[in-house]
Amino acid sequence: MFGLSCVVPLNCFDGACSASLFTRFHRECIGNASEYTYGGLMHRAGNQWDEADFSGDQNAIVDFKYSPSPHINWWFDHHQSAFLSDEDREHFERDQKKHADRPQKFFDPLYVSCTGFIADVARDHFGWDAPDLRDLIRWANVIDGAKFESAEAAVGLAAPAMKLMMAIESTTDPEFIPRLIPLLTSQSLVATLQENFVQDQLQPRLEKHQRDITLLRSRAAVDAGVITFDITDQPTEGYSKFIPYYLLPEGVYVVGLSKSSFRTKISVGTSPWTTVPADHLANIAAICERYGGGGHARVGAISLPRDQEPEARRIAAEVTAELKALGQRNRLPTDSL
């Protein structure tokens, strides 16, 4: 028997659900680990792996970039920018060929959530299913896919899963997510929400959420379909990325500058409620990758060291100009009709 360490992206609902589902699958289906531990991972500037991240007898990565480290035994990801380099992609492809009879590393960028991806892999490759987790998977898809019915639903946080998302995305307590992970697949989301340690985490966050709405209302502006804001003078460890669209519903994209204890961040997103046809929208992952960041087609981020604020501001201005120009190009054919 051995200890299995699971590397999870920090402050990510789908990441926490993925780790929980993976653990339950591994315990019930593979069943050879004596204990499960969780290591949180930040989207660090430079995105380099550190071998010290892989501290278990066996190690898993869920919902995060590929590592060619020989210490990785399991990997699941659905991010378009899952590979840091062509070498990593080739390494993965070689590994897949080598273990074609019993693969333990899986990648499919068509999945909305990594949680849903792990559930399907567990069923299709290992014959393991957990019908009680349908609700969790549905919410991981809603949240990671940003498929909320409205900006009001996303910002109002009426559903238990939405409140858990808020607690996960905003926590700075390194013990919180590891403590939460096992509960996500062992009881209902309502029961998890009612845990005292979750309520203690959540209440101040809900109050902060209201203050964030007030702050962004005073900072966000929209021009040519692009919402911009700069809150680098108000250090924050996370705010709801839907507030700008709730405040300025005409915005198609958002380019926001913020600062946390460890990075300056340029958040780039597409309104989940935009009526612009999908084939006219920018590929945000591709834009962010040009500046050393990454993400999905609709949402991404670029991280810089904390002290590189002027450079972050320059990049944000370039990305904003590119998104405005794209919007204007797309409007031309319609206008000339």
Nearer to Mn ion, 25 or 229 (CB): 25
Cα distance between residue 40 and residue 9, in whole Å: 6
In the complex, least distance from residue 139 CB atom to Mn ion, rounded to whole angstroms: 12
Three-class HEC string of 149-174: CCHHHHHHCCCHHHHHHHHHHHCCCC
Cα distance between residue 299 and residue 125, in whole Å: 30
Nearer to Mn ion, 114 or 154 (CB): 114
**Which residues, 6 or more positions from 231, have their beta carbon under 8 angstroms from its beta carbon?**
215, 216, 219, 239, 256, 257, 258, 259
In the complex, least distance from residue 51 CB atom to Mn ion, rounded to whole angstroms: 24
**Which residues, 6 or more positions from 118, have their beta carbon under 8 angstroms from its beta carbon?**
18, 21, 22, 25, 62, 76, 106
Residue in the shown chain whose Cβ atom is closest to Mn ion: 14
In the complex, least distance from residue 122 CB atom to Mn ion, rounded to whole angstroms: 16
Nearer to Mn ion, 140 or 247 (CB): 140
Q: Where are the beta strands (DSSP E) in the chain?
A: 2-9, 33-41, 58-62, 72-77, 105-107, 221-223, 226-230, 253-259, 264-270, 294-295, 299-304
Interaction residues for Mn ion, span 129-148 (CB under 5 A): 144
Q: How many residues bind Mn ion (CB under 5 A)?
A: 4
In the complex, least distance from residue 164 CB atom to Mn ion, rounded to whole angstroms: 15
Nearer to Mn ion, 21 or 231 (CB): 21
In the complex, least distance from residue 177 CB atom to Mn ion, rounded to whole angstroms: 14
Query: Do strands 72-77 and 58-62 pair parallel, antiparallel, or not at all (unpaired)?
Result: parallel
Among 63, 178, 216, 263, binds Mn ion (CB under 5 A): 63
In the complex, least distance from residue 19 CB atom to Mn ion, rounded to whole angstroms: 11
11 Ramachandran zone, left/alpha/beta (phi>0; psi -120 to 50): left
Which DSSP helix (H) or strand (E) runs through 281?
Answer: none
14 touching Mn ion, by CB under 5 A: yes
Q: How far is CA 139 from CA 14, 136, 265, 292, in A?
A: 9, 5, 26, 30
Q: How far is CA 251 from CA 26, 149, 247, 254, 331, in A?
A: 43, 17, 9, 7, 15
Nearer to Mn ion, 117 or 253 (CB): 117
Which DSSP helix (H) or strand (E) runs through 263?
Answer: none
- Which 3 state secondary structure label does DSSP give 213? helix
Nearer to Mn ion, 19 or 193 (CB): 19
Nearer to Mn ion, 53 or 144 (CB): 144
In the complex, least distance from residue 63 CB atom to Mn ion, rounded to whole angstroms: 4
In the complex, least distance from residue 169 CB atom to Mn ion, rounded to whole angstroms: 12
Closest by alpha carbon to 1, among 70, 56, 61?
56
77 touching Mn ion, by CB under 5 A: no
Residues 107-126 vs Mn ion: string with x where CB under 5 A? -------x------------
In the complex, least distance from residue 64 CB atom to Mn ion, rounded to whole angstroms: 8
Nearer to Mn ion, 20 or 232 (CB): 20
Nearer to Mn ion, 14 or 53 (CB): 14
Q: Considering only 14-22, 23-31, 64-72, 220-228, which stretch makes contact with Mn ion by CB under 5 A? A: 14-22
Residues 142-181 vs Mn ion: string with x where CB under 5 A? --x-------------------------------------
User: Which residues contribute to the site for Mn ion (CB under 5 A)?
Assistant: 14, 63, 114, 144
